[in-house]
Amino acid sequence: MKRKAIFLSIVLLIVPVALFASFSLGPNHTFFSTFKSDLLSSGNNLEVFYEAESNMEGQYIRFDKKGGVAGEWYLPITDYDKKKDNYFLHLQTGGSVGVLRLGFDHIAEAQLVMDAHISSVFFLLRGNDNLGFDGVYFMGGELKMFDSVLLRGGIRHFSGHFGDESIYNALSRDSSFVNAEMTEFVEDAYEVDIALYNERFPYLKGAFGFIVPKASSYMMPFVHRPDWILSGGKTNAERDPLSYSVRGDYGDGYNALTLFSEIDGKIPFSWGGITASYIMTLYESGKTKNTLDPTDDDAKWDITHELRLSLSFENDNLSLTMDGFMRMGRFPLLNLYWKESTIYGFGFTLKG
C-alpha cells in the first residue's frame, strides 16, 4: 500500500510538469557556450602568439622502447632556433549542441549536451611544422535555474597526439625507435561545473569547475596515477620509476585534479561589446615527476593564468570576437603539459 502511494504521488507530480513544461528536441547551444576558457570553449579560433619565456623541458618529447625500457628525450625539431621558433599558430575548430531541453522558462531548464573541439599548434616560421593536435569532448547534462545559475556534470575526454614532423624529427636521430611507444596525454574524467550568468545582465559572469580522472583512465600510460591505482598490473612503487618519465610514489591524497575558473566583465553595445576576462587553471599533476629531473619534488600543483581583452561583433546567435591575450603557465597543447611559457598573442573566435 505504501509503495502504491509513493508511485501515485510521483505520477501526480510528473504529469503536471510534463503538461505545462516547455519541451524542445533542439538543437540548442549549451548554457556554457559563452565562456572562453579552454575547458569550456568549443568555438572556432585562429590565434598567433609569441612565446616570450619558457622552460626547455617542455621542448622535448619522449619515446619509450617496448618492454619497459626507458627511452630518450628529443627536441620536436632538429635544429631549434629561438629567434624564429618561438612564434606559433594556434587553430581550433569545434561546436556544441544541447538536445531534449525540458523545463519552465525563467525558472528551471535541463538538457542533454555534447561539445567537442580539435586544437592544433604549428611553428609559424618553420614551414608550418605541426607540434601536435588535441581532441577534447564533453558529454553530460546541464541545468539552468532562474536564468542565472548554470550547473553541468558529465564525462570529459582528452586526447593528445604528436605532429608528424615532431615524430619524424625524433625518429631520424635514432632508427631503433621506429617501433617505440610514445608517452602521450590521454585521459577520461568526471567534470562538474557551476556558473553565474544572466543574459539580461551581461556585464558580469563567472564559472568554476573541477575535473577528476576516472580510476581506469588517468593520464596514460603511468604518467600520473595515484599510488592506490594499478596500471599494467603494478602499483607506482612496483614499476620501474624511470619508465614513462615518472619517479617514485606520489604520496597520499594525490588525485590528479584539475580546477579552473573564469570571470568576465563586459561593456555591451547594440552591435557587441568589449570584454575583459581572467581565467585561472590549477593542475594537481604539477611540475612533479613529469620529467626525469623534476625541479621540485614537493610541488604537486602548478597554475596557469590567462588575461584576455576582447572586442565582439554579435548578430543574433552569430558572434565574431577579436582577442588580445597574455598567458602564463602551460603551453596550449596537451602533450607539452610540463612546458611552462609566457605567451602574448592575438586572434579571432567565431561562434554560431
Q: What is the pLDDT of residue 216?
A: 78
73 and 81 in contact (C-beta within 8 Å)?
no
pLDDT tens per residue, range 139-180: 999 999 999 999 999 999 999 988 888 877 777 766 666 666
Which residues are within 8 A (CB) of 281 and not within 5 positions of it... i.e. 6 or more apart?
Answer: 37, 38, 39, 258, 259, 260, 261, 303, 304, 306, 329, 330
Q: Pick 280 or 128 by higher pLDDT.
A: 280
Query: Is the pLDDT at 183 greater than 80, yes or no?
Result: no
Does residue 125 or residue 26 have the better pLDDT? 125
Query: Tell me, what's the pLDDT at 294?
Result: 44
How would residue 287 be classed by pLDDT, with cut points 50, 70 and 90?
low
Residue 215 has pLDDT above 90, yes or no: no
User: Is residue 292 over pLDDT 50?
Assistant: no
How much is the pTM? 0.83
The domain spans of the chain are 21-351
- Is the pLDDT at 57 greater than 60, yes or no? no
For the stretch 238-252, pLDDT in tens is: 665 555 545 456 667
Nearest to 154 by CA among 198, 107, 204, 211: 211
Task: Residue 39: name the closest of 351, 213, 280, 350 by CA.
Answer: 280
Q: What distance in Å separates the CA atoms of residue 145 and residue 107, rounded to the nearest whole number?
A: 5
Phi-psi region of 147 (alpha: psi -120 to 50; beta: other; left: phi over 0): left
User: Mean of the per-residue pLDDT values for the chain?
Assistant: 80
**Which residues 6+ apart lie within 8 Å of 127 measured at CB?**
none
Query: For position 14, what pLDDT does the model report?
Result: 47
Residues 6+ apart with CB under 8 A from 90: 45, 46, 47, 48, 49, 119, 120, 121, 122, 332, 345, 347
d(CA 270, CA 202): 12
Domain 21-351 has CATH 2.40.230.10: yes
Name beta bridge partners: 172. none
Q: H-type helices in the chain, by residue range?
A: 2-20, 164-171
Mean pLDDT of 187-215: 93
**21: Cβ contacts below 8 Å, ≥ 6 apart:** 102, 103, 104
DSSP string over 262-281: EEEEEEEETTEEEEEEEEEE
Confidence of residue 211 (pLDDT cuts 50, 70, 90): very high
Question: Residue 291 pLDDT > 60, yes or no?
Answer: no
Is 1 or 19 the better-scoring residue by pLDDT? 1
pLDDT tens profile 221-244: 556 777 777 766 777 666 655 555
Q: What percent of the chain has pLDDT over 70?
A: 70
- The residue among 340 and 192 whose pLDDT is bigger is 192
Distance from C-alpha of 148 to C-alpha of 64, rounded to nearest angstrom: 49
Question: What does the block give as the cell for 165?
Answer: 614532423
DSSP 180: P
Q: Specify the range with the lowest mean pLDDT, choosing from 25-39, 66-80, 94-108, 288-302.
A: 288-302
Q: Tell me: cis bond preceding 221? Omega within 30 of 0 counts.
A: yes
Using DSSP bridges, classify how beta strands 72-74 and 258-269 pair: parallel, antiparallel or unpaired: unpaired
- pLDDT tens, residue by residue, 90-122: 999 988 888 888 888 888 888 999 999 999 999
Task: Quote the pLDDT of residue 152.
Answer: 95
Q: How confident is the model at residue 293 (pLDDT cuts 50, 70, 90)?
A: very low
